Amino acid sequence: MKPQLKPLSLPSTPYYQPSGDECAVFEAAWHNRLPLLIKGPTGCGKTRFVAHMAARLGLPLHTVACHDDLSAADLVGRHLLHGGATVWCDGPLTRAVREGGVCYLDEVVEARKDTTVVLHPLADDRRILPIDRTGEVLHAPPGFMLVASYNPGYQNLLKSLKPSTRQRFIALRFDFPNPEREQAIVIGETGCDAATARQLVQIGNAFRALKEHDLDEVPSTRLLIYAAQLIHGGMDRITACRAALVEALTDDEQTAAALLEVVNASFG
């Protein structure tokens, strides 16, 4: 029996503009109780998409920001001292399995490889979470969904998903939106005028063309939104772009000066 959709509360649904069939894939994964892996560059909308879909499906969202020191205990839980007694405290993954909803592991490749192994029984047809320290075996409810994301650009021999992990997920590939869609996103997020959105997207794409040359990381849609928010709030356009784009992308003074020339030419 498929899980039933809960009523959609539109006012609480985070803004998201689809680029293709990603919403349909997410819903199909949830209906079929399949884990989902989302891959794409930093700031291209992966986290916003997950938040949008969780709200759209009426599901609680449990988010874990993965990092180098993330341990299995951080995900599952541990015994802690409380009032002179030792008590068990669930981790975010365990809470999500007990309560249902979407458990989102942001930048999952940042976690230690031995940590991601705890996902294996949850991400296959067993859909269980064994907790060795308590002897429990939790069965994920129908409304539980495991979602993970990562940036393929950061992958190397030391930071990559093991094949035994990634082949438990279905996957979506994200990228930066095309100019028309990115302009619509900037306007939808900030309320800025169309001309400003168009100029910011042009600057963003000009900066992105410098990838592998002068910039280690290209500007995300998120940074363009930050710049638009500053401008919409009354800040001078050049100052806003210097703070939200140029200085956020590089520490090198010569590179920053070159980027600022692009900004000046765009708004000149």
Say which CATH number the domain at 101 has: 3.40.50.300
In a domain, 211, yes or no: yes
154 lies in the same domain as 247: no
Tell me the angle at which helices 221-232 and 179-190 cross, rounded to the nearest 10 degrees. 40
155 lies in the same domain as 191: no
155 lies in the same domain as 209: no
Q: Which amino acid is at 162?
A: K
pLDDT of residue 32: 96
pLDDT of residue 155: 55
Among candidate residues 126, 149, 173, the one where a domain is terminated = 173
137 lies in the same domain as 201: no
167 lies in the same domain as 183: no
Among candidate residues 126, 148, 173, the one where a domain is terminated = 173
148 lies in the same domain as 214: no
Angle at CA of residue 156, ends 151 and 160, nearest 5°: 65
Residue reference for tokens 């985070």: 14
In a domain, 129, yes or no: yes
228 lies in the same domain as 263: yes
Count of domains observed in the chain: 2
76 lies in the same domain as 202: no
Provide the whole-model pTM: 0.85
From 59, 47, 45, select the one nearest 17 (Cα to Cα): 45
Relative to beta strand 85-90, strand 77-82 is antiparallel
Residue 23 class from Cβ within 10 Å (0-12 exposed, 13-18 middle, 19+ buried)? middle
The ranges of the chain with pLDDT < 70 are 1-11, 154-159, 212-214, 268
Partnered with residue 147 across adjacent β-strands are 36, 104
Distance of CA 68 to the CA centre of its chain: 17
In a domain, 2, yes or no: no
Helices (H), the chain: 22-31, 46-56, 72-76, 92-99, 113-116, 163-166, 179-190, 194-208, 221-232, 237-241, 247-249, 253-267
84 lies in the same domain as 198: no
Distance of CA 10 to the CA centre of its chain: 21
Among candidate residues 152, 173, 194, the one where a domain is terminated = 173
Number of C-beta neighbours around residue 7 at 10 A: 6
In a domain, 243, yes or no: yes
Cα distance between residue 86 and residue 80, in whole Å:
5
103 lies in the same domain as 54: yes
Domain of 248 in residue numbering reads as: 179-267
Is-contact 159 165, C-beta < 8 A?
no
Cα distance between residue 47 and residue 67, in whole Å:
16
24 lies in the same domain as 123: yes
pLDDT of residue 112: 83
152 lies in the same domain as 229: no
pLDDT of residue 178: 93
In a domain, 3, yes or no: no
In a domain, 4, yes or no: no
Enumerate residues 6+ apart whose C-beta is below 8 A from 154: 109
What is the SS3 assignment for 102?
Answer: strand
Instruction: List phi, psi (to 5°) of 207.
Output: -65, -40
In a domain, 263, yes or no: yes
In a domain, 201, yes or no: yes
Conformation bin of residue 260: beta by default, left when phi > 0, alpha when psi is -120 to 50? alpha
